[in-house]
Structure 1
Amino acid sequence: MQRSHQSTWASIPLLLALSLFASAQEPQTGGFGPVNLGPDDKAAYAVPPEDFLAERDDTPHGKLEMIEYDSQSVGTTRKMLVYTPPGYSTEQQYPVLYLLHGIGGDETEWRRFARPNLLLDNLIAAGKAVPMIVVMPNGRAQKNDRAEGNIFSHAPAFAKFEQDLLSDVIPTIESRYSIATDREQRAIAGLSMGGGQTFNFGLLHLDKFAWVAPFSAAPNTKKPEELIPDVDDAKAKLRLLWISCGNKDGLIRISQNMHQFLKKNDIPHVWHVDGNGHDPQHWSSSLYWFAQEVFQPADAPEGDSKGESAE
Structure 2
Amino acid sequence: MITLRFFLLFAVAIWLKPAIGQENIPAAPKGFDEVQEGASKGVIDTITYPSQTVGTTRKALIYLPPGYSETKKYPVLYLLHGIGGDEKEWFNNGSPQVIFDNLYAANKLKPMVVVLPNGRAMKDDRAEGDIFDSVKVQAFADFEQDLLHDLIPYIQKKYPVYTDRENRALAGLSMGGGQSLNFGLTNLDTFAWIGGFSSAPNTKSPEELVPDPSTLKDNLKLLWISCGDNDRLITFSKRLHDYLDRYKISHVYYVEPGGHDFKVWKNDLYLFSQRLFR
TM-score between both structures, scaled by the size of structure 2: 0.91
In the alignment, the residues of structure 1 paired with residue 111 and residue 219 of structure 2 have an alpha-carbon distance, to the nearest angstrom, of 23
In structure 2, the residue matched to 1:254 is: 236
In structure 2, the residue matched to 1:23 is: none
| Count of residue correspondences | 260
Q: 2:67 aligns with which of 87, 90, 104?
A: 87
Q: 2:127 aligns with which of 147, 152, 161?
A: 147
Q: 2:57 aligns with which of 60, 65, 77?
A: 77
Name stretches of at least 5 consecutive residues in structure 1 with no aligned partner: 1-36, 297-311
Moved more, 145-154 or 226-235: 226-235
Task: Give deviations 1:276-308, integer Å, cap 9, x for gaps.
Answer: 100100100000000111111xxxxxxxxxxxx
Q: 1:61 aligns with which of 18, 24, 41?
A: 41
In structure 2, the residue matched to 1:236 is: 218
Are the counterparts in 2 of residues 141 and 164 from structure 1 also a CA contact under 8 Å? yes
Q: 2:187 aligns with which of 205, 211, 224?
A: 205
Q: CA deviation at 1:43?
A: 6.3
Closer/same/farther in 2, CA of residues 38 and 158 from structure 1, 3 Å limit: farther
In the alignment, the residues of structure 1 paired with residue 267 and residue 129 of structure 2 have an alpha-carbon distance, to the nearest angstrom, of 30
Q: Matched residue of 2:24: which SS?
A: coil
Are the counterparts in 2 of residues 80 and 137 from structure 1 also a CA contact under 8 Å? yes
In structure 2, the residue matched to 1:102 is: 82
Using CA pairs under 8 Å that are at least 6 residues apart, name the structure with larger relative contact order, 1 or 2: 1
Larger Cα Rg: Structure 1 or Structure 2? 2
Aligned counterparts, 1:155-170, within 5 A: 155-170=137-152
Closer/same/farther in 2, CA of residues 42 and 202 from structure 1, 3 Å limit: closer
In the alignment, the residues of structure 2 paired with residue 145 and residue 107 of structure 1 have an alpha-carbon distance, to the nearest angstrom, of 10
Q: CA deviation at 1:165?
A: 0.2
* Misfit runs of 4+, over 6 Å: none
In structure 1, the residue matched to 2:272 is: 290
Q: CA deviation at 1:47?
A: 2.2
Aligned counterparts, 1:42-61, within 5 A: 44-61=24-41
Q: How many percent identity over aligned positions?
A: 54
TM-score between both structures, scaled by the size of structure 1: 0.81
In structure 2, the residue matched to 1:15 is: none
Name stretches of at least 5 consecutive residues in structure 2 with no aligned partner: 1-15
In the alignment, the residues of structure 2 paired with residue 294 and residue 113 of structure 1 have an alpha-carbon distance, to the nearest angstrom, of 22
Q: CA deviation at 1:114?
A: 1.5
Task: Give deviations 1:32-66, integer Å, cap 9, x for gaps.
Answer: xxxxx995496632221111011123111110010
In the alignment, the residues of structure 2 paired with residue 143 and residue 65 of structure 1 have an alpha-carbon distance, to the nearest angstrom, of 21
Are the counterparts in 1 of residues 22 and 252 from structure 2 also a CA contact under 8 Å? no
Q: CA deviation at 1:230?
A: 1.9
